[in-house]
Structure 1
Amino acid sequence: MYPVLTASMVLSAVIAAYSFAGYVGIPAVIGLEPCSYLSILAVGLCIILAVLLNAVSRERLKVLVYAYIAATVVVGGLVSIPCVKRSTLYYPPADEMRPLLLVSDNVANLEYRIEPDTTGISLWLNYLSQVPQSQGYYCQGIPYPDWKYWKTVSIWDMKDNYGETAFVMDWHAIRWLISTKADKEKFLASDDYVLLGQVDGLTWFEYLNASKILTATNTPTLLFRGSESSYDFFLRAIALSNFNSEHIIPVRGHSEYIDDYTLEELQKFDCIFLYGYNYRDPGTAFSLLSDYVSSGGSVFFEANGSPDYNSAMLPEPFPVGDAVATSLGMEWDFTVERNSITAGIDFSKFSPPVYEGGPWAFSTTTAVRSWANYTVSTAGNPIIVSGEYGRGRVVWSGMNLVYHIIYYRNTEESKFLGRIIEWLAGHAGPEPEYEVEFINPQKRVVRVYSEAKGVLFKENYFKQWSAKAVYTDGSEQRLKVYLAGPGLMYIPIPEGSSFPMTVVLTYHKLPQERVGDVVSLVAFIGLILGGFLKFRLNLGGVIFWRKLRGTT
C-alpha cells in the first residue's frame, strides 16, 4: 500500500507544482497550460484517497483520512465550484442559435470548410451545422501546430497579405469566414470576398475562389527533397504570390537524401525541388537524377544549404560545372535573359542582397554548360542558370532564392519562383470528371471517370491513411499516400492507369495502437477480476473466522 501512496503523493506534488509554475518563473510546455493541471491533479489525489480509505478499514490513519475528506469538501465547495461557474459558458437552446448560421447543410456545402476567428465559435458550431470547420476548440495534440498557427495568423492577424491568405485558404478548403472582430476592412476591401450578413455580432464572409476538400486533379506535382525547415520555408515563399494547389502540388519526400529514392518513385512527379538536400553517395545520387531528367523529369537545384554550394566539379544534370561560394556586394546589378522564366517579372522590385546589415551569401559559377543559359546574373556573375537536358529541364540557383523571399516577404520574388516552377513542372491539365462519396470519417471514395494525375485530400496527413485503386475489372492496386502542402495528403495515380477507376481512402489503426487497445482491455478485465477475487477471499476469510469462533 505504502509504495502506491508514496508514488501518488509524488505525482500529485509534481502536478500541483506545475499548476503554479508561472508564478515562480518556471517555463511551461506549449499546449499544456499550467492552469488546466489543477483538474488533472484529481488523477493522483483519487489514488491517495482510495489508499487512505483502505487504511481506515484497517483502523489506521483514520483521523488523517477524515481530515483529508473534510478538506476536500470544503475546498471544493468554497473554491472549485465558484471557479467552475465563472468559467462555464452558457448558450441558448439550439433552436435559438440556429439563425446565427448563414450556411445551409446541403451536400454541395459539405465539400468546403468554415473558418471562425475564435474557439468560442468552434465550440458550438458543429453541434448546429454539418459543414466542417478548419479548426477545433481544443489545441492539445493538434498535428502540425506551426502550419495551423500560420493559417490563423495569415487570415486574421495580418493585413494586406491577400496572396498568402488566399494560399492558406485554398489549401485548407476554406469557403466561409466568421468574424467577431471590429476591423473587417481586409475582407471588405477585396473583390474575392462577399459579405453574407451580420447576425448577433457574427459577420459572415464567403471566399469566392474556394477549393474543395477532396478532388481528383491534373495539377502538376513537385517532390520536395530537403530538411523539414527548408520545406516550411518553401511553402511560405510560394504562398506570398498565391502559387496554390491549382498551380502546383508540393509533396514532402520521406527523406532529404537523394539516393534514398528509386527512379520509379521519382517518375511519379513532374518536378523535383532540391533545397537543403543531401546524399549518401554522390555518384549514385547524380546518376539517378540524370536518368530522371533524361526521361522527361525536371529538377531545381538550390546551392545554398547543400553539400554542393562550393564545389570545384559538378556532374550533369547540373547546368553548371562548378559552384563558387562568394559575396557579390550589397546592391543588385542585374543582367536578365528575357525568356519564359523571366517574362513579366520586375527585377527592380527585388529586395537588396543584404542579410543582417552585411552582404548576402551567394554561390556563382565559372562554367555554364553549353546546353544551359545565363538566366539571371548580378555584376556579371550567374546566379540563376537554366537549361534543357535530354527530355527534361533543369534550373540551378546560387542566390538562396527561397530564403531571400521569406526574409523580405517579397511578392515579386515569390512570383519569380512560381514562374520557375511552372517552367519546370508545366501547367495544369483539364479538370477530370469525378465524384466523391463520404462514407464516414475513416473512409472516402473518389470515382474518377477521366484521366487524372492523382487525388488531393485536404485533411491532415497521418500515416494511418491508406489508399487503393479499384479498376472496372475488379482488380486492385495499392497507392501511396504522401504529405502534401501544409500537412495534407496527395495520392498519385500510376501513369497508364485505365479509367474509370475508384480510389478508396481508408484510415486504419497502427499495430501499436491496436496493441494499446488490447492492453487497456486486458488491464480493465484484470482490475475487475482482481477486485472480485479479493472480495471473495476476504468474504471467505470472514465466514471462516466466524465459523471458527462459533465452534469455540
Structure 2
Amino acid sequence: MPVIPRAAAADTRAVGDTPAGGVTGGPAVTDRGRGWVRPLVRLTGWLRTTGEAVGLAAIVLFLGKRADAFTGFPKGYDAMGHLSKVTFLAENWPHIWWNYEWYSGQPTFTGSYPPGYHVLLLAVARLGKLSFPAAMNLVTASALVLLVIGTYAAVRAAIGSRLAALCAGGLTAATPTVWSQNVVLGLYPRFTALAFAVPALACAIRFAIRGGRFAALGCCCFLAAALGTHPIVGAIGLLAVAGVVLLSPTMPIGVRFATAAGLTGVPLAMAAYFYLPLVLEKRSQSAFTDFEVPLNWRLVLWPAGHSLDALLPGTLAVTLMVGILAARLHRAPAISVSARESLGEDIIWLSSSRTVNISGRANHPELRRYLRWRRRHQLAGYPLRLAVFFALGTLPFLCYGFIGYLDRRFPYYINGLQPTDLLVYPGVCCAVVCGLAVGIAVRLTRDRIDRVRRTWRRRLTRALAGGIAAATVTAAVGAAVAVTGPLLPKQVKRNDIPAQQARLAVFPEEATGQRDFRVAGVADSVTKWINEYSDAPQDRGYDDHGVLHLDWQYWLESALVKPSFTAAERDFLLDWYAVKWIDTDSGAGPTGMYDDPSRFTLLAQDTRYAVLSSYRYTRARPIVSATRVPIVLVIGDTRHYDLFLRALSYADIGSDTLIPVQGPARIDDVSRALLAHVDTVVLYGAAVTHPKRDAALLREFVMQGGTLFADSADDRDIAKLLRTAGNPLPVRSVHNAVIRGPAWDWTGSMSGVDAAILDGFGPASYAGTNQWVVSAAISLAPWGQPVLKAQRKTVLVSGVLGAGRSVWSGLALPYHTDVFGQPAESRLLAQLLTGRPDPGKPQTAGAGGAGVRYDVVNTDHRVINVTGPANGVLVKEQRAPDWQVTLDGRPARSYLAGPGMMWIPLPDDGRPHHVVLTYRLSPVELAGYVIAGLTTAGVLILLCCPPLWRWGVRRLHQLVDLAARPAGHRKPVPVV
C-alpha cells in the first residue's frame, strides 16, 4: 500500500469536516470534564467578547471626546432641524400627525422621515429626564458604538476570527466619513438607521451559517428599526440582508430564496405604517437638484487636512486585493481525463461541495492541485463571497459621485443625497472587507501551519504568525485613528456659535404664541432652528422634507431671495402664504428688496456674524379669513392651473381680489353643487369627453349668472364644445393663425380694454422668433361681440348670455403672461374674469375680527366660526387628503385654492356657520399601523414559542423539497 504524504492526507478530509461558514468550535472537551469545562469555556468566551466590545467602544469615546462630539450642543448642519421636530412632538403629543409649523403645514411623517429616530429621541429624553440636546448626544454616541460593534459581530459571524472582527470594528470607528455624518452633516436619522442595519446584517450572516431563532428574529427587529428610521438606509439594509442569505452555503437554493423573502418581508411589514402609504399613496417629495456636486476623488484617496467626508485609502487597496484573490479562487483548476481515471471511478465532474473518498489515490499532480484548491475554497468560500459582495456594494456609491464627470448631459444629483454624504456606506463596506480579508488570511495561514510535522515548530510558527497578524491589525487601526483623530476637532460643525445667538437676537418675539401669521426666511439655515425655541408657524422647515407642493414652495423661496422678482409677484406670494415677518441673512442672498418702507418695517438687525435682519410685512393677511370675493374655478390639469395662478401674480391679483380654485381635469367631473358656489369658470387645459353634457352644464351655469372664460389657443378640446349645438361660447368656429411680431397691431373694437393695458402687452414672439400662434375666430355667436383684434384677426370675444357672461380668448393669455411677466396682461386677465374695468381690492374678514373666529384646539383639530356674510372660508394651510371638514355638523369638502391652500364653500345666506377641520389618518395609513402591529406581535410569539419556530422551519424545508420534485412525483407531505 503506497504511503500518502502528510500534505496529501490532510487534503483528503471531507467537505463536512469544517463548518461551511468557516466557524470552528473551541477546544475539544472530553465527556469526563464536560460538566464543568464547557460552561467555563463559554464564560471565558463571553468575557473576551465583552472585553473586545468595550475596547471598540473606548475607541469611539476617545475619538468623540477629542471632537467634543457627545457633549455640548449637538453638532452638524442638520442638528437644529431634528431638534425642532422632536420639540414639536413633545409639545403636541399625542396630536402629532400634522405639523403646522413647517412649510405652511405638512404631514409630520408621511413623505418625510419615518418616526423612528425622533420618537426614540423623545423616549430617551422623557425616560432619562434629559434635555433634547443631551438626549441627542446620548443617542449619537450609542449609535456609533452600536455601528462599530455591529461591524465586529458581522465579521465575527462570517469568519469566526476575533482578530478579523476587531480589525473591521476598529477601522469602522476610525473612518472619517463615519464621523462626518454626525459632527459635520448632522444626518442623525440616516446614521442611526445605519447603526441598526449593520447588526441586522450580522444576525443575517449568523443565520445563514448556523440558523437559529434568535438570529432570524434579531435580524428582523434590527432591520425594521432601520426601515422605521430612514427609508434609504432601510432599502440598503434589505438588499444587504437578502444578498448574504442568498450566498449561504448551508441552505438549498429554494430555502435561500424563501428565507431571504422572509427576512426582508417581515421587517417591511413591521414598518408598514410608513411604507404602505409611501407605495400606495405616493406622497414622497424627493426632487432633483439642477446643479452638479461631483465627488472629489482626492478625498477618497487621502482625507487628512481636507474633509471628514472621506474614506481610508488603505481599505480601498485591500478591497482590490480581495477581488483579485476571489478571481483566482473562482474557477477550479482543470483536471485531465487521466487524472480522473486515476481515481478508479467514473467521476466526470468535481466541485467544491462534492465529497469523494480519494485516500491513497491522490498522487496525480493535477488531482493534488485540485484538492488544494478545494480545501482553500472550503476554508474561505463563504467569507470570500461575502467580501466580494460587499466590495461590489461600494461601486454604486462611488460611481454615483462621478456621473457628472462621465456624462455632462446629466449634471444632477438626487436632493438630499449628495455624493460625499454617501461615502459612509462604502466606508463601512470596506471595513468589513478588510476584516474578512484578515480572517481569510489567518485561516489559510493556520491551515498551512497545522501541516507542520514537529509540534514545537508548529507552535512557534503559529505564535509568530499570530503576533505578526495582531501587530498588522493594530498598526492599521492605529494609523487610521492617527489620521482621523486630529482631523475631527478641525472639521466639526458647531451650532452654539455667535451666529446662532445673533439669529435669536433678531427673531421677532411677537411671532411666538400666535397661529394667524407665518415667519418667512430667505434660506432654510435662517429658519430651521426657529421651532426649537418658538412655536411660530413658518413657510420653511427642514430641507424640503415632506413638502406637499414642491414647485410652489420653490416659487416662494425664490421670490424671497431673488431681486428679479417684481414687488407685485412677491406681494402675491406673501399674501397667499400668510407671511407677516421675514428673517434675512446677507450671506444667503440679497436683501435690498426689503428696504421699501411702504411695505416692510425693520424690527431688529445684528451684524456680528452677517447682516441678520428681521422685518414686518405691513400688508400681511391672516391664515384664516371669511371670503366675499369672486371664486374662480379652473377646470384643467395641474400644469395649466399652475400657469393660470402664476399669471395672476404679476399684478398682485391676490386673495383679496379673487380666489382661484383648482377643479377637476375633466368637465364631466364638475358637479352642479360645486358650480353653485363659484362665480367664474375657466376652461384652460380642460378635457371634454361628453361634449353635449358638458355644453349643457356650462350653458346652465352662464344662464344663471355665472361667467365663463375659455382659452382655446392652449386647449384643443375646446373645439369639441364649439362643434356642439347650444354651447355657451361666443364664437362658433376658429382656426390657427400666426401673428407676425413683435408688434400686435391692435385694431377693431376694443371696448372694455384700457389702452394702457395694450401698451404694456408683451411682444408677439415665441422664443425670439417674432411669431406667436393664436386661435382666431372665423364666425361669432349671434350674441358675441369682438373685444380685441390683432393684425385684423379676432382674438378676444365676449358676450352676454342670459344673466351671465361668456368670454373666449385665442391669445393663450395665461401662458403669454407667464412668459413675459407683464403686469398689464395680468390686470387684463383679472378684468375678463371679474367683468369690472378695475377689479379693486375688496376686503376680507381677518382672523379674530368680526367676520371669523379661529380656534386651534390642537395641531390636528381646528374650529372656525363665521359670524358675517361670506361665500366661503379660506384657510392658507396646505391642503392634504386627510383633512376632514364638517360644516354646521354635516360633512363638507375643501378645495385646493391658490398655491395648494384650502377653500371651504359656505352657503351665502348671512347666517353664522360652524366649520371644524380635523386631520385623520387615511385608511391606508391605518392599515399600515394594523399590519405593523400584527407582524410585531407575530415576531414576539415566535420569539417566546420555540416549538412554533421549529414547526415553521420544518414546514419550509418540506415545501421547498416538494416544489423541487418533478410534477408527477409531488405528494402531500405530512407535518408532525
Please classify the TM superposition score into its range, dividing by the shorter chain length. Answer: 0.7 to 0.9
1:208 to 615, 618, 621: 618
What letter is aligned with 1:209? R
What letter is aligned with 1:400? A
Paired position in structure 1 for 2:595: 188
1:33 to 409, 418, 432: 418
CA distance in 2, matches of 1:388, 1:191: 41
**How far does the alpha carbon of each residue in 1:369-396 deviate from its partner, in whole angstroms, 9 at most, with x for none?**
2322211112322111111111111110
**Does residue 480 in structure 1 map to residue 905 in structure 2?**
no
Shift of 1:45: 6.6
Give secondary structure in 1 for the equivalent of 2:786: strand
Task: Within 5 Å, give how 1:266-285 maps onto structure 2.
Answer: 266-285=675-694
CA distance in 1, matches of 2:884, 2:637: 25
Shift of 1:346: 2.8
Give secondary structure in 1 for the equivalent of 2:890: strand
CA distance in 1, matches of 2:396, 2:627: 52
Structure 1 stretches lacking a partner, 5+ long: 539-552
1:417 to 829, 854, 857: 829
What letter is aligned with 1:522? L
Paired position in structure 1 for 2:867: 449
Paired position in structure 1 for 2:633: 223
**Structure with the greater alpha carbon radius of gyration:** 2
Q: Which moved more, 1:520-529 or 1:78-87?
A: 78-87
Give secondary structure in 2 for the equivalent of 1:373: strand
Query: Conserved in 1, the CA contact under 8 Å of 2:626 and 2:873?
Result: yes
**Cα 1:307–1:28 shift into 2, 3 Å:** same
What letter is aligned with 1:164? E
Query: Conserved in 2, the CA contact under 8 Å of 1:214 and 1:456?
Result: yes
Paired position in structure 1 for 2:771: 359
Query: Conserved in 2, the CA contact under 8 Å of 1:276 and 1:304?
Result: no
**How far does the alpha carbon of each residue in 1:318-349 deviate from its partner, in whole angstroms, 9 at most, with x for none?**
0111112111322212136454x424643122
Shift of 1:89: 3.4
CA distance in 2, matches of 1:77, 1:265: 70
Q: Which moved more, 1:387-396 or 1:4-13?
A: 4-13
**Cα 1:535–1:211 shift into 2, 3 Å:** farther
**Does residue 319 in structure 1 map to residue 726 in structure 2?**
no
1:404 to 790, 796, 816: 816
Shift of 1:160: 5.6
**Does residue 246 in structure 1 map to residue 656 in structure 2?**
yes
Q: Which moved more, 1:241-250 or 1:112-121?
A: 112-121
CA distance in 1, matches of 2:672, 2:548: 31
Task: Within 5 Å, give how 1:53-202 maps onto structure 2.
Answer: 79=484, 82=487, 86=491, 88-91=493-496, 98-105=504-511, 109-159=514-564, 161-181=566-586, 183-189=590-596, 191-200=598-607, 201-202=611-612
CA distance in 2, matches of 1:73, 1:139: 41
Query: Conserved in 2, the CA contact under 8 Å of 1:167 and 1:244?
Result: yes
1:5 to 233, 244, 257: 244
What letter is aligned with 1:349? G
Paired position in structure 1 for 2:759: 348
CA distance in 2, matches of 1:529, 1:464: 34
**Cα 1:39–1:400 shift into 2, 3 Å:** same
Shift of 1:219: 2.1
**Cα 1:23–1:154 shift into 2, 3 Å:** same
CA distance in 1, matches of 2:716, 2:625: 38
Shift of 1:204: 1.3
**Cα 1:286–1:137 shift into 2, 3 Å:** same
Shift of 1:20: 6.2
Query: Conserved in 2, the CA contact under 8 Å of 1:31 and 1:140?
Result: no
**How far does the alpha carbon of each residue in 1:222-280 deviate from its partner, in whole angstroms, 9 at most, with x for none?**
11111211111111111011001111111111x32112222222222111111111211
**How far does the alpha carbon of each residue in 1:45-103 deviate from its partner, in whole angstroms, 9 at most, with x for none?**
79x89xx9xx99xx99x99xx99999899869955995697353322599886433233
CA distance in 1, matches of 2:947, 2:776: 81
Give secondary structure in 1 for the equivalent of 2:603: strand
CA distance in 1, matches of 2:904, 2:535: 26
Q: Which moved more, 1:417-426 or 1:196-205?
A: 417-426
Query: Conserved in 2, the CA contact under 8 Å of 1:32 and 1:140?
Result: no
Give secondary structure in 1 for the equivalent of 2:509: coil
Shift of 1:410: 1.4
Shift of 1:533: 4.4
More helix per residue: 1 or 2? 2
Give secondary structure in 2 for the equivalent of 1:376: strand
**Does residue 463 in structure 1 map to residue 881 in structure 2?**
yes
Query: Conserved in 1, the CA contact under 8 Å of 2:695 and 2:724?
Result: no
Paired position in structure 1 for 2:454: none
Paired position in structure 2 for 1:328: 739
Paired position in structure 1 for 2:647: 237
**Cα 1:291–1:83 shift into 2, 3 Å:** farther
**How far does the alpha carbon of each residue in 1:114-145 deviate from its partner, in whole angstroms, 9 at most, with x for none?**
11112122231122222211101222332211
Give secondary structure in 2 for the equivalent of 1:367: strand
Q: Which moved more, 1:504-513 or 1:519-528?
A: 519-528
Query: Conserved in 1, the CA contact under 8 Å of 2:503 and 2:612?
Result: no
What letter is aligned with 2:773? A
**Cα 1:466–1:73 shift into 2, 3 Å:** farther
1:506 to 899, 918, 924: 918
Structure 2 stretches lacking a partner, 5+ long: 1-204, 209-241, 247-388, 447-465, 951-976
The percentage of aligned residue pairs carrying the same residue is: 25
Give secondary structure in 2 for the equivalent of 1:148: helix
Shift of 1:450: 1.7
Q: Which moved more, 1:244-253 or 1:185-194?
A: 185-194
Task: Within 5 Å, give how 1:525-536 maps onto structure 2.
Answer: 525-533=937-945
What letter is aligned with 1:327? V
Give secondary structure in 2 for the equivalent of 1:322: strand
Q: Which structure would you say has the larger RCO, counting Cα contacts within 8 Å and 6 or more residues apart?
A: 2
The CA RMSD over aligned residues, in Å, is 3.9
**Does residue 494 in structure 1 map to residue 907 in structure 2?**
yes
Q: Which moved more, 1:236-245 or 1:511-520?
A: 511-520
What letter is aligned with 1:176? W
Paired position in structure 2 for 1:543: none
**Cα 1:40–1:146 shift into 2, 3 Å:** farther
1:391 to 786, 789, 803: 803
**Cα 1:338–1:85 shift into 2, 3 Å:** same
CA distance in 2, matches of 1:424, 1:261: 26
Query: Conserved in 2, the CA contact under 8 Å of 1:336 and 1:342?
Result: no
Paired position in structure 2 for 1:439: 857
**How far does the alpha carbon of each residue in 1:176-226 deviate from its partner, in whole angstroms, 9 at most, with x for none?**
111112743222135211222212431111111111112222222111111
Query: Conserved in 1, the CA contact under 8 Å of 2:625 and 2:874?
Result: yes
**Cα 1:68–1:119 shift into 2, 3 Å:** farther
Paired position in structure 1 for 2:669: 260
